[in-house]
Amino acid sequence: MQEKYMKYALQLAYQNVQNLNGGPFAAVIVKDNQIVGEGTNVVTTANDPTAHAEISAIRDACKNLNTYQLTDCEIYTSCEPCPMCLGAIYWARPKAVYYFNTRKEAAKIGFDDQYIYDQLALSIDERSLQMHKIDLDSEQLPFPLWETILEKVEY
């Protein structure tokens, strides 16, 4: 069954390139041997830097399953997930991820995420993107409010 879903992810990625919809990436999410979500990379056509295949597939599966977690799901993706997608995958909590191409293979065709991996390994003050904490007095602080809400849905 794993080969079937990977083959389908590769077919979607191939068609995505063929149709000029975006990069050569696609992902399929499976639960109980049923495809519950799919997505392709549409970064350039949607003008959305977060519209990677895995993110699109996670959004589709969560919508279809009416949930914010993909427990008991498997993700089949045409390429090893980038740092952004890997973070989203961890948040979605699937039980497994299967990929075809490696990040090194992706780098060879112009999709090199090594800079991001390197930046994430640095402390905040060493990163090339400047980040500044702002402290101020406010009566509307969301964190203390969150702690008091009894009906919250924790995730």
Alpha-carbon torsion (104, 27, 59, 75), positive or negative: negative
Q: Which residues pair with 35 in a beta bridge?
A: 30
Known catalytic residue at 151: no
Q: How many CB atoms lie within 10 A of CB 66?
A: 6
Q: Are 94 and 70 in contact (CB under 8 A)?
A: yes
Cβ–Cβ under 8 Å, residues 74 and 96 = yes
Q: Among the options 54, 74, 126, 154, which is catalytic?
A: 54
Residues with catalytic roles:
54
